[in-house]
Every structure is written in C-alpha cells, then in structure tokens.
Amino acid sequence: MYTLGVESTAHTFGVGISDNDRIIANERDTLKPAVGGIIPREAALHHFKFAPEILKKALDKSGLKLRDIDLFAFSQGPGIIPALKVGAQFSTFLAKKYGKKLIGVNHCIAHLEIARLYTKLNDPVMLYVSGGNTQIITYYNGMYIIFGETQDIGVGNLIDKIGRRLNMPFPAGPKIEEMARASKHYIEMPYSVKGMDVSFSGIETFVSKLIGKERVEDISFSLQETIFSMLIEASERAMSYCLKDSLVITGGVAANKRINEMGEKMCRERNASFKAIPMQFAGDNGAMIAYTGYLMRDYKQKDLGIKPKFRTDTVEIMYR
Amino acid sequence: MKTLAVGSEAVIYEKDSIIIKRRAKKKYRIKEIDEKLRKSRSKAEFNIMNFLYRNGLNVPKPLKYVDRKKEIRMERIDGTRLAEDFSSYDAKNIGTAVAEMHNLGIIHGDLTTANMIKTDKKLYIIDFGLSFHSLKDEDFASDIFLFKNALKSKHNDLYKEAYSCFLNAYKSKIRKEFKGIDTHLKDIEERRRYNESY
C-alpha cells in the first residue's frame, strides 16, 4: 500500500511516501527567515510556493505516479494555522481528485511512530523537543500519554529567543551549541523541574539579563547544561515511573549532540537503551505522516479539518 | 545494607529498620549542577519532613541528614505503596492528607500514588524531594493538578471517580476559600500548550 503524507505544521513543508512500513521518499523544504522567527503568513506562502515542487521530487524519488497512491495523509496539528491550512487543502484536493481515502494524523504521534520504526525500540519513552513542542510521551493504558511537558514555551523556542538577543541566525541551536563547546564556566541559572513538567520562561528572563555582562560562550554553555539536565531528569522520571527501559530523543533539538550525550549517559546508568534516530526523520518530515497514516489506514475519521491545538493524549490508538 | 528501591533520583537502602535515602550522583549533569541540586534537595527535604512530623502529619520520622553522602535517614514504615494497590477509598484519605499538608503551608511538588504508603490505619505521604513552603493558591492548585495527572496516567480506569473523591475530601479539610484555588486550577490547565478548551 502506497501512502503519501503531507507535513506543514510549522516552517517545514514535507512530502513523504511509504510502501507499507518502508519509507521510499522523504522530501522537504524549510523556510529560513533572514531575520527574526517564523511569521505565520510567510510560512504559508512558502508552503504554497514549494508544494508542487516537493510533491514532484517525492514522486520522482519513489518512481510512482499520483494515481498509484492508495492513501493520502496529512498533519492535522498541532501547529500554526495558516501553515496547517496549506497541507490540509493540498492533501484534501489530491485525495478527492484521485478518489482515495484521506487520513488526518497527529504530528506528535507521527514523530513517535517514525522513531519506533527506525530505532526498532518497541516501547520507548520519547523526549520530543522542537521549537514549539517539548513533551515526554509514552504509551500507557492504550493511549499516548504526555508524562511531562513544558508549562510555558518550547525548548527550541527558548533557544531561538536567546539566540535572537545574541544576534544569532534562526534557528539558533547550532550556533549556541558551537559557542557552548568553547566554555567550561558554569553560571548558575534557575532550574525548574515541576514534578514531570518543566518550565522555561523564568530561564529566558534570567538569561536575557546576563547578555552583555557575561561571555556569550559561558551563557550558551550554562543554558545548554541547565535546560538539557532538566529535560533528561524529567525523562528519567517518566522512565522510572512507567517502568520503560528505552529512550528516544526526537524533534529539531535532537540535532544537538550534547542532549544526546546526556540521554545516553542517563540510560547507561540505569541499564536502559538509548538510540538516536536519523536526523532526516528527527525534524519535521512528510515520511512520518505517511507512515502514521498507513498505520491508521482503517480509522474512520469524521473531523478532517485542521486542529491547531491538537493534543497528543486525545487520539485513540487502535493499531497497537 | 539492603537496597530497597532505585528511583529516578535517589536510592533507598534499609539498615537496622532505618531507611536511608541517598541521592545518587548523575553523570549526565555537570558537577556544578549535580552537587547543588543533590545538596539543596536533600537538605530541604529533611527540613520539611521534620516540620511536618513535628506538626503531627503522617510522614516517616526523620532522623538525620548526612551532608557528605547527601543522604537522609528516617524511620521505616510497614505498609504498601499506593501505586501497587489503589482504590477510590484511598483517594478520600489522600484528599484529607494533602489538605492538612497544605494547611501547614507545604507544597509536595510530586504527588503521585508511588509517593504514598498505606498501613492498616494510616496513610503516609513520602518523598518530599520537590517540596517547598508556600501559601499561594497557585501552588496549592499546581499540587492538585499534578495529582490529577498522575491519576490519569497511572490509574486511568479509576481516574474520574478517584479524582472526585479526592477533591471532595480536600475541599472539606482545606482552611482556605476553595474558589480561589479552583480558579488557578483551571488557569493551569488552560496555560498548557494546545489546550482545546480555549
């Protein structure tokens, strides 16, 4: 069964194609603003502009024609409204035109499913860290439950906000990581783990006040150490609480080497397994939507509109 | 020395009917963060347990804090962990216990059924590693919210019934206008990302 998935929740427009549970194409383009962050309207315009080109690339890669596709899937949310609309319209049009079924997929669950597929870990705790999302998700009692999450802003968002104040280009993650490597001097920062949840807005305020007073390298180092320690601690709590013995880190922030190193060390200390997933499947991509759509192929969905505030723990999982 | 439990944060040992809670070093954190956290959490935990114990709450009797090892020593409680054996009836006792703790101005910070022990007659709250002093409605609400989520994730089948038993018992014991706490409770839920309620 060939499934075509469309991803457009934020600044990435992606099209992926899967042949049952095998990914045969994964193409995308990401909006990179020259200054500032993502402007919703511009993300939508970007997706409109690149949609046909990305679709063609994906089809070429797979050697398929649109009429060969058996099932269409798209990312229903969570995400930015104008950006989501593009993917929804695009995939609805294709499904109608070729008379095929359309499946709406939760973006966060798609991240988890592709991680399970590529790491071969059957039942991991997933630390999902990206610009907008920071969630610790695991399968429990027939649902994907959010064990811990940010109480305010996403961790990537925090990094980008600090980066912008330090005049770093968007996304600021790589630059912060590079700067952090040049320092070993820790500046004490608020450490805010609340049960299994984390909170970042206090750190943002605190770090903003350090800018100009401390070296950028030291700020970057201390920021990374603080926030990643918090996230790994919360992940460990979730693993311990639900008795899970593996961890996967995914999302855009998973590109950071330090957070992976910390996750690996934590898992080694408690005899758990840790696996990194290939970077092309860690960030937002269409392949994960296609694959999750394939898993959900028998679902009967009534609501196929966009869901900008789609929560992970509201989807019934019937395929596990 | 017998190892009783290895938690995510600390290891629990038993020696001559004394429970030792030692916060283990975490290699993934840099030393500066790790030392500071282990020390401040252990010390604060000991002080809060002491305070609650002296005020007659059902908590293990704290005996000693040893800074060198970042460990707390306390008396042993014979009972079962609520996480392993939980019913809605227990939820009522939890509501009473949490309200009494809040009346003394202590926020637990990690209210789950894994952090509660029941004996024949009493219900004990344990693990004050994330606790702090506060009399703010917001903090009371955050404790209730944590417990609600813990019920939802660990005891999903009993969740609705248990939560209402908990809340009723809590309301009748708390020496504060519940309306204020309730407002914050709704606030916290709405503050989370992607909430469909707003």
Find the CATH number of the domain harbouring B94.
1.10.510.10
Asked whether residue B86 falls in the same domain as residue B119, the answer is: yes
Provide the Cα torsion B1, B4, B6, B7; round to 10°.
-130
pLDDT score at B194: 64
Instruction: Measure in Å the smallest separation between the Cα of A116 and chain B Cα atoms.
Output: 21
What tens digit of pLDDT does each residue of A65-112 get? 999 999 999 999 999 999 999 999 999 999 999 999 999 999 999 999
Asked whether residue B38 falls in the same domain as residue B132, the answer is: no
Domain boundary, last residue among B45, B75, B105: B75
Asked whether residue B112 falls in the same domain as residue B131, the answer is: yes
Indicate if the pLDDT at residue B196 is higher than 80. no
For residue A52, is the peptide bond before it cis, meaning its omega torsion is within 30 degrees of 0? no
Of A191, A194, A309, the CB nearest to B195: A309
Asked, for residue B196, whether it belongs to a domain, the answer is no
Asked whether residue B9 falls in the same domain as residue B33, the answer is: yes
Using a CB-CB distance cutoff of 8 angstroms, which residues of chain B are in contact with residue A106?
none
Domain boundaries of chain A, sorted by first residue: 2-111+281-314, 121-279
Please give the ipTM for the structure prediction: 0.84
With a pLDDT cut of 70, the percent of chain B lying above it is 96
The C-alpha atoms of residue B77 and residue A59 are separated, in whole angstroms, by 65
Asked whether residue B31 falls in the same domain as residue B67, the answer is: yes
pLDDT score at A143: 85
Q: Is A253 an 8 Å CB contact of chain B?
A: no
Asked, for residue B54, whether it belongs to a domain, the answer is yes
Asked whether residue B71 falls in the same domain as residue B107, the answer is: no
Beta-carbon separation of B26 and A269 below 8 A: yes
Domain boundary, last residue among B59, B75, B91: B75
Using a CB-CB distance cutoff of 8 angstroms, which residues of chain B are in contact with residue A193?
130
Determine the straight-line distance between the first and last CA of chain A, rounded to whole angstroms: 19
Asked, for residue B198, whether it belongs to a domain, the answer is no
Averaged pLDDT for residues B46-71: 95
Averaged pLDDT for residues B73-79: 94
pLDDT score at B197: 44
Beta-carbon separation of A194 and B109 below 8 A: yes
With a pLDDT cut of 90, the percent of chain B lying above it is 71
Asked whether residue B114 falls in the same domain as residue B146, the answer is: yes
Domain total for chain B? 2
Hey, which residues does A148 pair with through a beta bridge? A136
Q: Is B17 an 8 Å CB contact of chain A?
A: no
Hey, which residues does B116 pair with through a beta bridge? B125
CATH of A121-279, one of 3.20.20.70, 3.40.50.300, 3.40.50.1370, 3.30.420.40: 3.30.420.40
Using a CB-CB distance cutoff of 8 angstroms, which residues of chain B are in contact with residue A149?
192-193
The C-alpha atoms of residue A316 and residue A145 are separated, in whole angstroms, by 11
pLDDT-based confidence at B193, cuts 50/70/90?
Answer: low
What tens digit of pLDDT does each residue of B91-150 get? 999 999 999 999 999 999 889 898 999 998 899 999 998 899 999 999 999 999 989 988
Asked whether residue B70 falls in the same domain as residue B106, the answer is: no
Q: Could you tell me which chain B residue has the CA closest to the CA of A78?
A: B194
How many residues in chain B?
198
Catalytic residue among B16, B90, B110, B120: B110
Whether B34 is a known active-site residue: answer: no
Q: Could you tell me which chain B residue has the CA closest to the CA of A258?
A: B28
Name the residue range of residue B160's domain: 80-191
Cα A221 to chain centroid distance, Å, stands at 23
User: Which residue reads 């703790």 in tokens?
Assistant: B101
Same fold, A2-111+281-314 and A121-279: yes
Beta-carbon separation of B33 and A225 below 8 A: yes
Q: Is the dihedral of CA B179, B180, B185, B188 positive or negative?
A: positive
Contact residues, B window 47-106, toward A, CB-based 8 Å cutoff? none
Indicate if the pLDDT at residue B195 is higher than 70. no
What tens digit of pLDDT does each residue of A181-218 get? 999 999 999 999 877 889 999 999 999 999 999 999 99
Q: State the CATH number of the domain containing residue B20.
A: 3.30.200.20
Q: What is the CATH number of domain A2-111+281-314?
A: 3.30.420.40
Cα B109 to chain centroid distance, Å, stands at 6
Tell me the C-alpha to C-alpha distance, in Å, between residue B93 and each of B86, B110, B119.
11, 17, 12
Q: Within a 13 Å sphere around the CA of B128, how many CA atoms are in the beta-carbon half?
A: 29
Helix segments in A245-306, DSSP class H = 257-269, 279-282, 286-295
| Measured CA angle at A170 (ends A56, A105), to 5 deg | 45
The C-alpha atoms of residue B103 and residue B12 are separated, in whole angstroms, by 29
Closest among A191, A214, A213 to A203, alpha carbons compared: A191
pLDDT-based confidence at B198, cuts 50/70/90?
Answer: very low
Closest among B147, B1, B19, B139 to B78, alpha carbons compared: B19
Using a CB-CB distance cutoff of 8 angstroms, which residues of chain A are in contact with residue B146?
194-195
| Other Cβ atoms within 10 Å of B107 Cβ, number | 25
pLDDT-based confidence at B190, cuts 50/70/90?
Answer: confident
Domain boundary, last residue among B42, B75, B108: B75
Asked whether residue B8 falls in the same domain as residue B103, the answer is: no
Max CA distance (Å), chain B: 55
Asked whether residue B146 falls in the same domain as residue B133, the answer is: yes
Task: Give, as one character, the DSSP assignment of residue A150.
Answer: B
Asked whether residue B61 falls in the same domain as residue B87, the answer is: no
Strands laid side by side in the A246-250 sheet: A143-149, A134-140, A125-129, A246-250, A273-276
Asked whether residue B65 falls in the same domain as residue B117, the answer is: no
Whether A78 contacts A128, CB under 8 Å? no
Give the pLDDT of chain A (320 residues) as one tens digit per residue.
999 999 999 999 999 999 999 999 999 999 988 877 889 999 999 999 999 999 999 999 999 999 999 999 999 999 999 999 999 999 999 999 999 999 999 999 999 999 999 999 999 999 999 998 999 999 987 889 888 899 899 999 999 999 999 999 888 999 999 999 999 999 999 999 877 889 999 999 999 999 999 999 999 999 999 999 999 999 998 998 888 999 999 999 999 999 999 999 999 998 999 998 898 999 999 999 999 999 999 999 999 999 999 999 889 999 98
Using a CB-CB distance cutoff of 8 angstroms, which residues of chain A are in contact with residue B111?
195
Asked, for residue B197, whether it belongs to a domain, the answer is no
Asked, for residue B170, whether it belongs to a domain, the answer is yes
Beta-carbon separation of B30 and A186 below 8 A: yes
